[in-house]
Structure 1
Amino acid sequence: MYDTTLSETRRRDWDGDATGTLRLAIVGCGNYARSVSIPAIVEGRYAEATVAVSGDPDKRASLADEFGVTAVDYDEYEAGAATDEYDAVYVATPNRLHLPHVRTAASHGKHVICEKPLEATVARAEELVAACEDAGVRLMTAYRMQTDPVMRRLREFVADGGIGDLRRATGDFAFPVLGGGRDPDQWRLDGRLAGGGALYDVGVYPLNTARFLAGDDPVAVSATTRSPDPAFDEVDQYADFRVEFDDWVGGFSAAFSGREHTFLELLGSDGRVAVESAFQPGVARDVTVETAEGRVAVADAGADETVEEFDYFAHAVLSDGDIEPDGADGLVDMRTLKAIQESAASGARVEL
């Protein structure tokens, strides 16, 4: 069974009869959007970047020159500038700014793909989802790992009983947010803008991906966080959290310091799957599957999941197809992250 699973780690199971191209406005053109997201959109099949929204005039000029987009500022975006040049909006601004930018997109009748976590607080995330529902526009939470073909094949494998009954998942994401000379004044270290530190920014990856592979939602959490470096006095520098599900438990960690590292493992009654380099964008995954049938290891599995992410969203809008990582999915994680913060503050287990 696992031979078939690991031989199809580039198959798009969602790619059907969509025709045309979805034109995207990129709202928030920081380093990630410029260096990862926009190039992925350009590389893909179903989406194209046609408008860029930035508050920096030099950046607007650079984006227009490099990508051939129409560049506007935030006031122009809110006022409806260039709405005839895009069909949907990709929101990649700091977490606490997602709500107003999504609300603007919805008011213009534009579909939305919004970076995760959806917002800085649960209440604001709920308003964001409601704004899209009230306007009748599609909303996708930008969980790129859910669109990586290798993760989709592993989900099928787990659902088919490939490792028996799931007992435990572990996952880690360490990202040195101040490494490489990165600005210490960045928004990720601003508690109000970010909502949380390593937990919100990278901890959501093992949490959501494990949920996706298992098809389950949490029932309780317990956690600790710490920030020994004064640079992280407004957000968590390290987070370790235990997430309980009905029949299994997850143990996850997130870090804003140390060597970059990502890993995900699922242990079942009859087997194991493990993914090295599990969450970095555009990095080849190394996958190991162990069952009673034997052990199989595959290097360079999957595809560029950011290309997959935008093509998945565009295809769903163009074909009126399902969007799995929708607003409801994003809200599950927002409520779980809030419970994790409450547990870390109180030292108590928190039920969901």
Structure 2
Amino acid sequence: MSDLTRRTVLGASAGLLSVGLTQARAAEVGTIPEDPHAIGTVTGSKVELPPLHAASEAEGPLPNPDPFTKRLGVAVVGLGHLSLGEILPGFGQSKSVKVVALVSGHREKARAVAAEYNVPERALYDYASFDSIKNNPEIDFVYIVLPNAMHLEFVTRAAQAGKHVLCEKPMATTSADAERMIAACRDAKVKLMIAYRMQYEATQRAAIAMVRKKEIGELRLIQAVNGQNDTPGQWRQVKAIAGGGSLPDVGIYCYNAFRYLTGEEPVEVTGRMTQPAGDPRFSQVEDVANFTLQFPSGVMGVGTSGYSIHEARALKAMGTTGWIGLDNAFAYNNIAMTVSRKVGQVNGIDHRQYPPKSQFATEMDHFADAIRRDVVPHTPGEEGLQDIRIMEAIYRAAEGGSPVKMPLVQGLDTTRGPAPATEG
């Protein structure tokens, strides 16, 4: 039996010797007993298999997605790099959602993408016909993946069409627009969630839990950097469309992390910007942004974002008895955690890597769960609004050269809904 392939053996173990084996070959192999590890049990639509590995080995649960007919339908609005590179492929790892409609200003592109994801022609919309999504009962929520200045219009139109809304960050270009978006969804009695993918990612969730449980002692300082080197000519370099440069696009990850690690809101911010002369990318918006957030507990957050540096994404939370560092901290994948604490008479370094999963599948599944249970999502509109207010304060501090005070907010996680469920 040494020349049997793994597939042949597994097929035989399931009683399928007739597939891939001649009758003579089957006789040579004989009867192979069914492997209980491949059979398991079925409860409703959920399949359970006994573990393959000993308790010493890492082994997560089976995905067990919802039956396809019971998943919530999503209309993806905007077919740029993020949608095509991350969001649409993420549906393949989703448990609770499926793509049922596409919205694009380019019909030919929409048709090509629709063919890849089995979206029917009748479920393709352009921006002018967007309001007719109200007549499509298969759409449960829309995912707005448009330039920042367009968020207000399409969140409002989606809400008026009676659809729940998941909107990319930054939520808006101004706090006034963010407030209008919240009001539009509230008035239409639909849910609004801002797509803060990091707040649903397993490594970040673990870091939050460790900080809140004081596993590195009392938190004192958080440092973060998020930078990339962009090509010229993007809409992100047009202030009227983007609202700013690196700060609202990638810097927001840094100060949002300060907020979700501490659970607090800042009482003071500072800011400084660079805008290199002669570089067409920065004729309207900033390149590097440096900012600090001071929190009521005394924790200081120090952040940097940039549009002209080789990709750098790091987050480090430092406490009185240890620190937690995340490498590739704000990337779509390959986030790694390092923990340093005293172990006996020496300082120990602990490296951790959590199982990879599409961050976009995870956040969409959370929103689906919030809709089904009729609860506030973990990152509702109020979470996005607070970040826009902080962004505006950082810009004021940079312009005026002095710290800007923020209103004192009592309590923790005041802009967030219930924490997302964890697996395992």
Which residue of 190, 194, 213 corresponds with 2:261? 213
Amino acid at match of 1:348: S
Amino acid at match of 1:35: G
Residue 260 of structure 1 aligns to a residue in which SS? strand
Which residue of 251, 263, 274 corresponds with 1:226? 274
Written as runs of structure 1 = structure 2, the 5 A alignment for 1:183-198 is 184-198=232-246
CA distance in 1, matches of 2:342, 2:322: 7
Alpha-carbon contact 1:112-1:139 (below 8 Å) kept: yes
Aligned to 1:238: 288
Unaligned runs of 5+ in 1: 1-6, 179-183
Amino acid at match of 1:226: T
Alpha-carbon contact 2:227-2:309 (below 8 Å) kept: yes
Deviation at 1:80, TM superposition (A): 3.8
Amino acid at match of 1:156: A
- Taking structure 1 as reference, are residues 11 and 240 closer, same or farther at Cα in structure 2, changes over 3 Å only? farther
Aligned to 1:67: 117
Percentage of identical aligned residues:
34
Aligned to 1:169: 222
Written as runs of structure 1 = structure 2, the 5 A alignment for 1:66-215 is 66-69=116-119, 70-80=123-133, 83-178=136-231, 184-215=232-263
Alpha-carbon contact 2:133-2:139 (below 8 Å) kept: no
Deviation at 1:41, TM superposition (A): 2.1
Alpha-carbon contact 1:83-1:108 (below 8 Å) kept: no
Deviation at 1:94, TM superposition (A): 0.4
Deviation at 1:58, TM superposition (A): 1.5
Aligned to 1:326: 380
Deviation at 1:65, TM superposition (A): 1.2
What do the CA deviations read for 1:52-94 (whole angstroms, capped 9, x no partner)? 0000122111122111222110111124465323010100100
Residue 85 of structure 1 aligns to a residue in which SS? coil
Deviation at 1:185, TM superposition (A): 2.5
Amino acid at match of 1:204: I
Alpha-carbon contact 1:111-1:139 (below 8 Å) kept: yes
Alpha-carbon contact 2:103-2:124 (below 8 Å) kept: yes
Deviation at 1:130, TM superposition (A): 1.1
Residue 258 (1) aligns with residue 309 (2): yes
- Taking structure 1 as reference, are residues 11 and 343 closer, same or farther at Cα in structure 2, changes over 3 Å only? farther
Residue 284 of structure 1 aligns to a residue in which SS? coil
Residue 55 (1) aligns with residue 105 (2): yes
CA distance in 2, matches of 1:339, 1:44: 37
CA distance in 2, matches of 1:51, 1:83: 9
The structure with higher relative contact order (CA 8 Å, sep 6+) is 1
Count of matched residue positions in the alignment of Structure 1 and Structure 2 = 336
Which residue of 288, 306, 328 corresponds with 1:277? 328
Deviation at 1:208, TM superposition (A): 0.8
Amino acid at match of 1:23: G
Deviation at 1:133, TM superposition (A): 1.2
Deviation at 1:8, TM superposition (A): 8.6
Unaligned runs of 5+ in 2: 1-56, 407-424
CA distance in 2, matches of 1:11, 1:102: 36
CA distance in 2, matches of 1:330, 1:76: 27
Deviation at 1:28, TM superposition (A): 1.2
Deviation at 1:24, TM superposition (A): 0.5
CA distance in 1, matches of 2:100, 2:271: 43
Amino acid at match of 1:337: M
Written as runs of structure 1 = structure 2, the 5 A alignment for 1:309-348 is 309-348=363-402
Aligned to 1:4: none
CA distance in 2, matches of 1:258, 1:301: 29
Larger Rg computed on CA atoms: 2
Deviation at 1:10, TM superposition (A): 7.1
Deviation at 1:319, TM superposition (A): 2.6
CA distance in 2, matches of 1:189, 1:171: 23
CA distance in 2, matches of 1:9, 1:168: 34
Aligned to 1:3: none
Amino acid at match of 1:87: D
CA distance in 2, matches of 1:170, 1:105: 37
- Taking structure 1 as reference, are residues 309 and 174 closer, same or farther at Cα in structure 2, changes over 3 Å only? same
Deviation at 1:141, TM superposition (A): 0.7
- Taking structure 1 as reference, are residues 275 and 319 closer, same or farther at Cα in structure 2, changes over 3 Å only? same
- TM-score normalised to the size of structure 2? 0.75
Aligned to 1:298: 352
Aligned to 2:15: none
Deviation at 1:307, TM superposition (A): 2.0
Alpha-carbon contact 1:29-1:53 (below 8 Å) kept: yes
Alpha-carbon contact 2:134-2:163 (below 8 Å) kept: no
Alpha-carbon contact 2:259-2:265 (below 8 Å) kept: yes
Deviation at 1:43, TM superposition (A): 2.4
Which residue of 92, 97, 100 corresponds with 1:42? 92
Residue 258 of structure 1 aligns to a residue in which SS? strand
CA distance in 1, matches of 2:112, 2:402: 50
Residue 116 of structure 1 aligns to a residue in which SS? coil
Amino acid at match of 1:135: A
Amino acid at match of 1:75: A
What do the CA deviations read for 1:241-276 (whole angstroms, capped 9, x no partner)? 111111201000001112111000000112100000
